Amino acid sequence: MSEPVAWSPEGTPHSPRFGDIYRSAAGGLAQARHVFLAGCGLPQAWAGQRHWRILETGFGLGLNFLAAWRAWKDDPHRPQLLHFVSVEAFPVAADDLLRSVRPHPELQPLAADLAAQWWGLVPGVHRLVFEGGRVVLTLGIGDARSALQEQDFQADAVFLDGFDPARNPAMWDLPLLKAVARLCRRGAAVATWTVAAAVRHDLAQCGFVADKAPGLPPKRDCLRGRFDPAWPLRQDAAPAAATPGSAVVVGAGLAGSAAAAALARRGWDVQVLDRADAPAAGASALPAGLLAPHASPDDNLLSRLSRSGVRMTLQQASARLCAGRDWDHSGVLERRAAPARVADLGEPGQPWQQPRPDGLWHAAGAWIKPAALVRAWLAEPGVRFTGRAQVARLHRLEDQWEAADAQGLPLARADLVVVAAALDSAALLPAPVALHPVRGQVSWQLHGGELPMPASPVNGNGHFLPAVPLESGMAWLTGSTYGRGETSLQPLPQDQFANLNRLRTLLPEVAACLQPAFDAGAVNAWCGVRCASSDRRPLLGPVAPGLWVSTAMGSRGLTFAWLCAELLAARLHGEPLPLPERLAAALDVARQIPRDG
């Protein structure tokens, strides 16, 4: 449910829960600019920076975010990447976000973009991206303190913006300010509208040096300061975040091409090597796959991970692919033999899942051609693909890594290497990792619309895609088998029948119509070998200085490749994490290769 907002006749938004106003009607934007932006030295402070990371407490109606985004847009010296991280326990409805900017035409198009992504805001971290990925909003939905504890990055500027400390002490108390301080780099600016003595006292306790500054009339004062504790911080001794240089990615499937695009977008010069002639030659060559979140009664780890991944992949598909040809935001119907009991995800806006008489409807679901996404990521400026380059060994040369072939001939050299080579990854890593092959066979056939087909893709035990435009015509697809430990790339007749059998339970009428084609051997088969870790979750993280791995996407490459790529970039650059830290840890390769210290 969305948080109710009461609007006064003059347009002042009021919170019935807290008995306080979000801000004044007309002066809100001017206050946001004076108190928060100017209070943190913006826009001057971010001029010419690679990235700038703002942390806010209390997203509310998003006015501070929209004001920061507007300032970024209007500034010729803006940073390449603006990260805005905010936390909110009680998200409002999208209509209230739009209503809030009625007095401010310059914010209206931005608010419309925000409102379009304002769906499915269940507790957890949600990443919304704007301006082609150059303005990134990371929203922690939940109580501020725990949401802050789930992040790990270094803020350059902090906007403290709860309701009045007297009415809403939890947004200003010492534990909350400590949680804020943990996320600040030394020197980070801090700004707020309150000059309450208790807040100033607790800020000082946490290492902020803050003073009263003139407020924007009718307010007399506001507070401005810096995070500069007298005591040493762990970050003082930690190695600086990576500066973009040269990178080699081994593997041009979903995981590798996503990592390449995420790095190139941050200024890395990336070469992607693959043993095949062309990209997407392995499991990513699947003609089309389903993107749908995992639903579970207890909203388990996979459900939460998959929601993060699905939202991020959807953004990529809509920004980079041709709808109707490369993908379709079709929604997906989930049907199971036992009716799906799933967690109730009450949330503002369009929900993730809705029960229907025929199953569970996933509005976020889609089908996507993985190879199209691979090509789109490799087309990011700054990425080069080199085929027929089989990396057999990686070795350290001074500050760089060299990739060499089986004869020891150098193929490439770079500051950073990302291994995303599925099963081949194991041989390239300095410590053993367990990677398991999982063979998958999909059955497909062209059709001319003469068969009774479901209106959308159906998922359950197996899946069915009714209409995917291939080069040769419109096709249905069904699968997939899950052959643990199998590596053969030869289509197997028994797997065709396994797919038909599963379809009998999933969609009995469709299976009955397609049976003659299966019996006649007229159905085509595609098979590939996926790579999975022992616990079926991806493996992402550093394995040696300058050497990272991003692999083991299993049968969920569409869900996890971009999430892992953005997580890799976030970790490298001290950027906000795209998902809660505990979930990020569940993808960390450290669970297989413990890191020193």
For 306-320, what is the HEC assignment?
HHHHHHHHHHHHHHH
Contact flag: residue 89 with ligand SAM (CB under 6 A): yes
Closer to ligand SAM by Cβ: residue 22 or 327: 22
Q: Site residues for ligand SAM, window 92-111 (CB under 6 A)?
A: none
Give the nearest distance from C-beta 146 to ligand SAM in angstroms: 9
Half-sphere exposure of 238 (CA within 13 A, CB side): 14
What one-character-per-residue DSSP string does 74-102 give?
H-TT--SEEEEEEEESS-B-HHHHHHHTT
How far, in Å, CA of 72 to CA of 80, rounded? Answer: 10
Q: Site residues for ligand SAM, window 10-69 (CB under 6 A)?
A: 22, 56, 58-64
Contact flag: residue 87 with ligand SAM (CB under 6 A): yes
Contact flag: residue 88 with ligand SAM (CB under 6 A): yes
How far, in Å, CA of 583 to CA of 154, rounded? Answer: 19
Size of the residue set binding ligand SAM (CB under 6 A): 21
Give the nearest distance from C-beta 588 to ligand SAM in angstroms: 27
Closer to ligand SAM by Cβ: residue 66 or 280: 66
Q: Calculate the CA 347 to chain-centre distance.
A: 19
Q: Site residues for ligand SAM, window 114-143 (CB under 6 A)?
A: 143
Give the nearest distance from C-beta 363 to ligand SAM in angstroms: 25
How far, in Å, CA of 129 to CA of 148, rounded? Answer: 20
How far, in Å, CA of 95 to CA of 218, rounded? Answer: 29
Contact flag: residue 163 with ligand SAM (CB under 6 A): yes
Q: Which range binds ligand SAM by CB under 6 A, 84-92, 130-138, 276-284, 370-378?
A: 84-92
Closer to ligand SAM by Cβ: residue 7 or 90: 90
Give the nearest distance from C-beta 142 to ligand SAM in angstroms: 7
Closer to ligand SAM by Cβ: residue 127 or 294: 127
How far, in Å, CA of 557 to CA of 571, rounded? Answer: 20
96, 150, 161, 566: residue in contact with ligand SAM (rule CB under 6 A): 161
Give 55's contacts (C-beta < 8 A, 6+ positions apart). 85, 86, 155, 157, 158, 159, 180, 183, 184
Per-residue binder mask for ligand SAM (CB under 6 A), 230-269, x = binder: ----------------------------------------
168, 496, 499, 559: residue in contact with ligand SAM (rule CB under 6 A): 168
Give the nearest distance from C-beta 138 to ligand SAM in angstroms: 14
Give the nearest distance from C-beta 327 to ligand SAM in angstroms: 34
How far, in Å, CA of 232 to CA of 257, rounded? Answer: 40
Give the nearest distance from C-beta 207 to ligand SAM in angstroms: 22
Contact flag: residue 482 with ligand SAM (CB under 6 A): no
- Measure Cα distances from 228 to 161, 183, 184, 223, 295 in Å: 20, 13, 9, 15, 45
Q: Site residues for ligand SAM, window 400-429 (CB under 6 A)?
A: none
Give the nearest distance from C-beta 140 to ligand SAM in angstroms: 8
How far, in Å, CA of 509 to CA of 507, rounded? Answer: 6
Q: Which pair of tokens denotes residue 259?
A: 């990592």
What one-letter code names the amino acid at 539? L
For 250-295, what is the HEC assignment?
ECCCHHHHHHHHHHHHCCCEEEEECCCCCCCCCHHHCCCEEECCCC
Contact flag: residue 144 with ligand SAM (CB under 6 A): yes
Give the nearest distance from C-beta 102 to ligand SAM in angstroms: 14
Strand partners, 136: 83, 129
Give 597's contacts (C-beta < 8 A, 6+ positions apart). none
Contact flag: residue 150 with ligand SAM (CB under 6 A): no
Give the nearest distance from C-beta 65 to ligand SAM in angstroms: 7
Contact flag: residue 183 with ligand SAM (CB under 6 A): no
Contact flag: residue 164 with ligand SAM (CB under 6 A): no
Which residues sit at the interface with ligand SAM, rule CB under 6 A? 22, 56, 58-64, 87-90, 143-144, 161-163, 168, 170-171
